[in-house]
Chains A and B, each alone.
Chain A
Amino acid sequence: MTLAIILYTGAIGLLVIGLAGVVMSSHLFRMLLGLVIAEAGANLLLILAGYRWGGAAPIWQAGQFPTTMVDPVPQAMVLTAIVIGVGVQALAIALLIRHRHYSGTLQRTGGLNQLQADLDREAGVRHTRSSDAPTLNPLTEVEHVH
Chain B
Amino acid sequence: MAWTPLLFSGGLAFMLFSLFMAVPFGEPLMRVGGMIQQTDGELGAANLVTAVVLGYRALDTLGELAILFAASTSVGLILTGVKQRTVSVECEELGELFEQASTLLLPLLIMVGFYIITHGHLTPGGGFQGGVIIAVALFLPTLAGRGAALLNHRLIQQVEGGAGALFILLGVAALLQGESFLQPWLPVGEIGALFSAGTLPLLYLAVGIKVGAELAALLTHLSTNVPSPEVPR
A67 CA / B2 CA spacing, docked (Å): 52
Secondary structure at the A interface, as helix, strand, loop or mixed, is helix
- Interface presence of B21 (CB below 8 A): yes
Asked if B17 and A58 sit within 8 Å, CB to CB, the answer is no
Kindly list chain B residues whose C-beta atoms are within 8 Å of the C-beta of A7.
25
Contact B28–A24 (Cβ < 8 Å): no
Interface residues of B in 104-126 (CB under 8 A from A): 122-124, 126
Interface size on B, residues (CB 8 A): 62
Docked-complex contact A52 and B27, CB < 8 angstroms: yes
- Return the CB mask of B145-179 against A: 1 if under 8 Å, else 0: 00000000000000000000000000000000000
Q: Which of B77-85, B91-99, B136-144 contacts A (4 or more CB under 8 A)?
A: B77-85
CB distance from B66 to the nearest CB of A (A): 10
- Chain B residue at minimal CB-CB distance from A58: B48
State which residues 1-34 of A face B: CB under 8 Å: 1, 3-4, 7-8, 12-13, 15-17, 19-20, 23-24
Partner of A73, one of B30, B70, B231, B233: B30
Return B206 CB to nearest CB of chain A, in Å.
15
In the complex the two chains form, is B46's CB within 8 Å of A60's CB?
yes
* Nearest chain A CB to B69 CB, angstrom units: 9
Partner of A90, one of B8, B53, B72, B231: B72
Tell me whether A4 and B78 are in contact in the complex, defined as CB-CB below 8 angstroms, given that A23-B5, A71-B32, A72-B48 are known contacts.
no
Report yes or no: B227 in contact with A76, Cβ–Cβ below 8 A. no
Tally of chain A residues near chain B (CB < 8 A): 54
Q: How far is the CA of A96 from the CA of B21 in the complex (A)?
A: 38
Q: Is A84 an interface residue (CB 8 A)?
A: yes
Verify B67–A84 contact, CB threshold 8 A: yes
| Interface residue B71 (Cβ < 8 Å from any Cβ of A) | yes
Q: Is the interface of B mostly helix, strand, loop or mixed?
A: helix
Contacting residues, chain A, for B225 (C-beta < 8 A): 94, 97
Would you call A73 and B32 a contact (CB within 8 A)?
Answer: yes
Q: Are B222 and A94 in contact (CB under 8 A)?
A: yes
| CB atoms of B71 and A88 under 8 A apart | yes
- Rounded to whole angstroms, the CA-CA distance of A144 and B232 in the bound complex is 12
- Let me know if A57 is at the binding interface, CB within 8 A: yes
Point out the residue from A20, A51, A144 that lies within 8 Å of B28, measured CB to CB: A51
- The residue of chain B having its C-beta at the shortest distance from the C-beta of A15 within the complex is B16
Closest chain-B Cβ to A74's Cβ sits at a distance in Å of 8
Instruction: Check B6 against A20 for contact (C-beta < 8 Å).
Output: yes
Q: Are B47 and A59 in contact (CB under 8 A)?
A: yes
Minimal Cβ-Cβ distance residue in A for B225: A97
Q: Which residues of A contact B6 (CB under 8 A)?
A: 20, 24
Those of B34-61 within 8 Å (CB) of chain A? 36-37, 40-41, 46-49, 51-53, 57, 60-61
Chain B residues near A (Cβ < 8 Å): 5-6, 8-9, 12-13, 16-17, 20-21, 23, 25-28, 30, 32-33, 36-37, 40-41, 46-49, 51-53, 57, 60-61, 64, 67-68, 70-72, 74-75, 78-79, 82-83, 122-124, 126, 128, 132, 191-192, 211, 215, 218, 222, 225-227, 231-233
Q: Please list the residues of chain A having a beta carbon within 8 angstroms of any beta carbon in chain B.
A: 1, 3-4, 7-8, 12-13, 15-17, 19-20, 23-24, 45, 48-53, 57-60, 65, 69-73, 75-76, 79-80, 82-84, 86-88, 90-91, 93-95, 97-98, 100-101, 104-105, 144, 146
